């Protein structure tokens, strides 16, 4: 970073999976990171506690502010106080299944929350670069072809409808006000910090509990669904690269490989010597009114224009998550030969 200017980034959703990896990444690039957190009756900062508490820091690297995507005044206040160079809008009700139960709330946070933030940005007297967390869920999974930036959007959940609206609002602000605003259309990305109710983490955590003798069965929904799963730690770099480019644009971020839930389950079960058929029960409660059957992304544009590529394979991702969940239930992952290379760091999960 030239000219001695220390860049400031503001992240909504900093307490989430991606927010925590992005904060780490930006701090490593020399940024001061500001994050918006919600008031909660218990701690919601587990994923960023290790950054916040670093005893070696000589200046604050991470500053947290109370705010909410539902509350324009709070967004306005934080933006004017921080005066950021870059804003990453990751805050969302991000669970697709839950969005069928909470469609209005999901639309409010995901869509109107983005409008509120974009409009608040327009009141600043400085150019700000804006990243919108768009999603492969917007494609609807209606084709087995690899999806890219020109593929049609066919949203099949209240979450996806809200993300499509936010995606177009971001483009509209770019066109109408010449804002530097980018959509990252990210395919599913996971990590040991993934929320426990998303399927990959549910599987690695559930298998770890079975290995530890705490549970007998793992209850899942549609095992036939296919996803293009990558590692969250790789994907946050793509977000940053979008905002460093000369021109604001939209990019697909994916691995270019697709696997079924059943494959992820079988691979993980095999790593710890379990038979998935014996320990998994299908419970229709986890089925969705409309399902996204098949997602496969084509990240060629991100590779060509941003020089970004995923580094973690499907198998490495599964093993990394499983090792971390075994460790957290007191089972040494080294008990399993295939996990020897995946001993978890003492990092938050
Ligand atoms: P996540 O772990 O569920 O984190 C969501 C974050 O949003 C949390 O920090 C949460 O705060 C915050 N949030 C929720 N409601 C909010 C509100 N009303 N105001 C402000 N913040 C609020 O999600 P993630 O996996 O990190 O995903 C980050 C973003 O990328 C989301 O927008 C998601 O929809 C999108 N996305 C994710 C994927 C993926 O595969 N992970 C793929 C494509 C797009 P609390 O901690 O207080 O709940
Ligand atoms: N959550 C969950 N729980 N999903 C299950 C289960 C289960 O017990 N059993 C099967 N599945 C199937 C779902 O039906 C879906 O087809 C697939 O596993 C993946 O579900 P999730 O892990 O919940 O992720 P998602 O694809 O619906 O949404 C995630 O990825 C999107 C990007 O495509 C979220 O992170 C979204 O926020 C993100 O936009």
Cα(259)–Cα(50) distance, integer angstroms: 33
Residue nearest to atom 13 of ligand 2 (CA): 222
Cβ atoms within 10 Å of 176's Cβ, excluding its own: 9
**Residue 274 sits in the same domain as residue 164:** no
**Residue 52 sits in the same domain as residue 123:** yes
Which atom of ligand 2 lies closest to the CA of 133?
39
Concerning whether 137 is annotated as a catalytic residue, the answer is yes
**Residue 182 sits in the same domain as residue 73:** yes
**Residue 68 sits in the same domain as residue 145:** yes
**Residue 162 sits in the same domain as residue 212:** no
Confirm whether 220 is domain-assigned.
Answer: yes
**Residue 236 sits in the same domain as residue 325:** no
pLDDT digits (tens, 9 = 90+) for 331-341: 999 999 999 88
Within 6 A (CB) of ligand 1 lie: 12-13, 15-19, 36, 38, 40, 44, 68-70, 90-94, 109, 133, 135, 186, 188-189, 195
The mean pLDDT of the chain is 96
Confirm whether 304 is domain-assigned.
Answer: no
Confirm whether 33 is domain-assigned.
Answer: yes
**pLDDT (0 to 100) of residue 346:** 66
pLDDT digits (tens, 9 = 90+) for 184-241: 999 999 999 999 999 999 999 999 999 999 999 999 999 999 999 999 999 999 999 9
User: Is the pLDDT at 96 greater than 60, yes or no?
Assistant: yes
User: Is the pLDDT at 317 greater than 70, yes or no?
Assistant: yes
**pLDDT (0 to 100) of residue 59:** 72
**Residue 155 sits in the same domain as residue 214:** no
Confirm whether 348 is domain-assigned.
Answer: no
Cα(32)–Cα(61) distance, integer angstroms: 5
**pLDDT (0 to 100) of residue 1:** 45
- The domain total for the chain is 2
Confirm whether 133 is domain-assigned.
Answer: yes
pLDDT digits (tens, 9 = 90+) for 118-166: 999 999 999 999 999 999 999 999 999 999 999 999 999 999 999 999 9
Cα(16)–Cα(195) distance, integer angstroms: 8
CATH of the domain at 75: 3.40.50.720
**pLDDT (0 to 100) of residue 4:** 81
pLDDT digits (tens, 9 = 90+) for 1-49: 445 899 999 999 999 999 999 999 999 999 999 999 999 999 999 999 9
Confirm whether 86 is domain-assigned.
Answer: yes
pLDDT digits (tens, 9 = 90+) for 262-271: 999 999 999 9
Query: What SS3 state is found at 17?
Result: helix
Confirm whether 307 is domain-assigned.
Answer: no
pLDDT digits (tens, 9 = 90+) for 53-70: 666 666 789 999 999 999
Confirm whether 210 is domain-assigned.
Answer: yes
**Residue 82 sits in the same domain as residue 217:** no
- Residue 201: what are its φ and ψ, rounded to 5°? -70, -35
- The beta strands (E) that lie in 8-61 are given as 8-12, 32-37
Q: Which domain holds residue 282?
A: 199-227+258-295+313-342
């Amino acid at each position: 970073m030239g000219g001695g200017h220390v860049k400031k980034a503001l992240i909504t959703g900093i307490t989430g999976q991606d927010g925590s990896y992005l904060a780490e990444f930006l701090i490593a690039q020399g940024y001061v990171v500001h994050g918006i957190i919600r008031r909660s009756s218990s701690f919601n900062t587990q994923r960023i506690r290790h950054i916040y508490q670093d005893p070696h820091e000589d200046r604050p690297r991470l500053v947290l502010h109370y705010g909410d995507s539902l509350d324009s005044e709070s967004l306005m206040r934080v933006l004017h106080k921080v005066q950021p160079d870059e804003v990453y809008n990751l805050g969302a009700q991000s669970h697709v299944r839950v969005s069928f139960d909470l469609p209005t709330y999901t639309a409010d946070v995901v869509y109107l929350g983005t409008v509120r933030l974009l409009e608040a940005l327009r009141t600043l007297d400085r150019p700000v670069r804006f990243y919108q967390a768009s999603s492969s869920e917007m494609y609807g999974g209606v084709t087995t072809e690899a999806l890219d930036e020109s593929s049609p959007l066919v949203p099949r959940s209240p979450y996806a409808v809200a993300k499509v609206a936010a995606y177009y609002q971001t483009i509209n602000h770019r066109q109408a006000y010449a804002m530097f605003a980018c959509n990252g259309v990210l395919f599913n990305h996971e990590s040991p910090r993934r929320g426990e109710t998303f399927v990959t983490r549910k599987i690695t955590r559930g298998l770890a509990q079975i290995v530890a003798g705490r549970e007998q069965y793992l209850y899942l929904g549609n095992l036939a669904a296919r996803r293009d799963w990558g590692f969250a730690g790789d994907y946050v770099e793509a977000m940053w690269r979008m905002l460093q480019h000369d021109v604001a644009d939209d990019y697909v971020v994916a691995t270019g490989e697709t696997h079924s839930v059943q494959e992820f389950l079988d691979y993980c079960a095999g790593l710890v010597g379990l038979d998935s058929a014996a320990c998994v029960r299908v419970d229709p409660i986890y089925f969705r009114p409309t399902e996204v059957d098949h997602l496969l992304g084509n990240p060629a544009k991100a590779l060509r224009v941003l020089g970004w590529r995923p580094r973690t394979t499907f198998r490495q991702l599964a093993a990394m998550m499983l090792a971390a969940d075994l460790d957290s239930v007191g089972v040494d992952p080294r008990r399993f030969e295939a996990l020897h290379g995946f001993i978890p760091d003492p990092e938050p999960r």
